[in-house]
Chain A
């Protein structure tokens, strides 16, 4: 179909092997310090790290002299690769909807995230509902189908949201000062947000009891009719059973404490607090709850509830013992999370490893995938990024990105392939112009 593409892929073929050795690099493992040497990937997994490593069979050797290798960046809060609206805003509890159903593996933002060193992202539903939709963790395996992007084995999540966003549909703007622009949806206040969450969990508990009773009957050898499956309550039942992680969008200290209390009352855990710009005010309480915090480096004041924020938030929460990650919530910011991490060194004086951890091993811990990704250790997935300079520098550029030991982004090939692609596109534009009927001049008959 498109020959330049095929040639380009053919040139990449040797690198597609899943046995790779990257030599002469500065390897920032994040969890085991930084060293000069090599990292070997065998069958898609990291096999060895050291000054000298065993060469796996048929390995492709990459000389990364003067360059840096870090584990693939993990974004704990993203909305890319989704078809349609990320908000099912029409209902206050939309836990029946699932991002998994609308993965768009052809969203160019995936490739651009790769070009920024991101290999894994937590794809969240929006924040229009106190209890939002189900979420999923994806690897940025550009070129695979929807199923191929899913981080196999990662615990699925659900989005909760507190504060201004979920109450916005309850406060429609008034047209001409009188008529609401759309019918208001409960809740309209922070009190209503709490009520909505509590009421949903009341229902979920009853639903769970119904199923538990059914299971008990089956266990006794009876054959009852199973209860009706309710997709909305099923997701919350999974939360109660600890089989689905809660990722809660929040800003203010009061609402953070509110959610932690609600979780205690109903016996579930909040896995991560997202944004959590006032987290520094209630860091001890968050630490005690075991929730992680996924925040922005220095982005605030874009709305009322985001005023009382400070750039030291990440460092302060980290020092209070919270697992802290820095996220993007944005397709553009997602492409330079390495510099977001670097800001935590300026604001709060974290070390290189501590800063890098906030975009690698910490989000991995928050998503329960730290046994697979987040650091350069033997046995972990071959998700690596090669930078030309120290990744915590503003001047660093991503050179190559591997996922499962497979090359998914290569800066040189990308640049080399651009003229051919531009030419191919221009050909189509020219062809279309030629096939357009010429505008007839006046009404003169055409000869």
Chain B
């Protein structure tokens, strides 16, 4: 017993040193996003929440104090469409020059092992076989806290990702994750189900492949339409059965349709103007609240009025079109592909001007420098810095219905913060510290130039 007490004290001290229950950042510039910028203010954090913010916010007794002189505090950034936390969905190392294929990673190739005959998969006969559909999955159930990208994107100021099981056609529902270093994956989850990820292409599908139906774009659309028709009918029959099962044939259970019915919104891909038009009409036909992702051609003058007409929020890929590396000088390049490169980053400013709600998403970028430069490109092309910040904080929080807990620096919200020296996204700005659920992290040291994909280091919880 005599030995136990000091031991206990020691444990408490350590816990306290690592994660002070209460802390205050004072004398800092605070970009609240939801309200005005405070030139010299205090942010008080207690038990993972923002307790107070303001020029005269009282610092509670016993709080750890961080002197924010010369520093700026922002809400933690939110990546509105990501696969961070599900390592198997990491994109192949960011290709230099040229666009990332899609957010969908190719299916993992089976490891070479002892020769086993793979179980013959019956060919997909049509929509009834529910191809590439895992609509019942939740990203929250697949989180692996050891995904090295967690630390990498957190070092870029991202405290939160909306992570989707982005695979197949109906991948499953996305979850909002706080990028804390945790033991239990569940501790990262802010909201487990925020909407269904839908894609209209798969790697390696089509005629002559083994993937089966659907192969053509119109096949994907027909399949998705059939699934929603089936879901509507399924609901009707199940409700009728629930009312009076006597004498009624028992309707079967279909997890694909359960997953579809459980989702309150859909994410649909749209890069080209034609695709925006197509998907907006399609979402209206399916009677699903939709968020469009991609937006490569959102700079075109027709795009903003079209998007505004339907009122759907959009997620703009930060993976801007880039000129081909070492292009064949003889190769024919379309005017559109040249415009994509020249004007793509101007899209956010145009959307802002037109009043189209938009957020950014990383689209496979996971290195802090890449992400920062990508946002800077949009700022250089005319987007106001505060609008860029909003598109990475409060706007995505609003789209997913979590603006009551994330996206701005307000009392009562989750204490996700980024503290910088200099303005966020500037070339020479240093991120000093990141707070996730009130826990402090230091940005990981930058990998030496030329180093490949995210060095696998231990999550950098500050000591």
- A interface residues, Cβ below 8 angstroms from B: 1, 83-91, 94, 96-99, 101-102, 104-106, 125, 128, 133, 145-147, 169, 172, 181-183, 185, 225-226, 228-232, 421, 424-425, 428-429, 431-432, 436
Contact = CB atoms under 8 A, between A and B. Distances in A.
B321 to A, nearest CB: 11
B226 A96 contact: yes
Contacts of B221: 97-98, 101-102
A96 B335 CA distance: 35
Contacts of A99: 218
Contact of A84 (B211, B217, B223): B217
Interface stretch (B43-51, B166-174, B271-279, B418-426): B271-279
Contacts of B335: 421, 424-425, 428
B461 interface: no
Contacts of A86: 216
Nearest to B229: A229
B320 interface: no
A83 B233 CA distance: 30
A228 B219 contact: no
Nearest to A93: B126
Interface of B: 123-127, 206-219, 221-223, 225-226, 229-230, 233, 236-237, 240, 272-275, 277-278, 281-282, 300-301, 323, 333, 335, 338-339, 341-343
Contact of A428 (B222, B236, B339): B339
Given A83-B274, A146-B277, A432-B341, A182 B208 contact: yes
A43 B335 CA distance: 35
A86 B217 CA distance: 9
A85 B207 contact: yes
A86 B215 CA distance: 10
22 contacts: A83-B274, A83-B278, A84-B217, A85-B217, A90-B211, A90-B213, A91-B125, A98-B222, A101-B217, A101-B282, A102-B278, A145-B277, A147-B277, A185-B123, A225-B236, A226-B233, A226-B236, A228-B233, A231-B229, A429-B338, A431-B342, A432-B338
A146 B217 CA distance: 15
A181 B208 contact: yes
Contacts of B223: 96
A263 B340 CA distance: 50
Nearest to B232: A229
Contacts of B341: 432
Nearest to A227: B233
Sorted nearest first, the 4 A-B pairs with minimum C-beta distance are A84-B217, A85-B216, A428-B338, A88-B219
A231 B226 contact: yes
Contact of B233 (A125, A229, A428): A229
B280 to A, nearest CB: 11
Contact of B207 (A87, A225, A228): A87
Contact of A101 (B233, B278, B333): B278
A91 B218 contact: no
B400 to A, nearest CB: 28
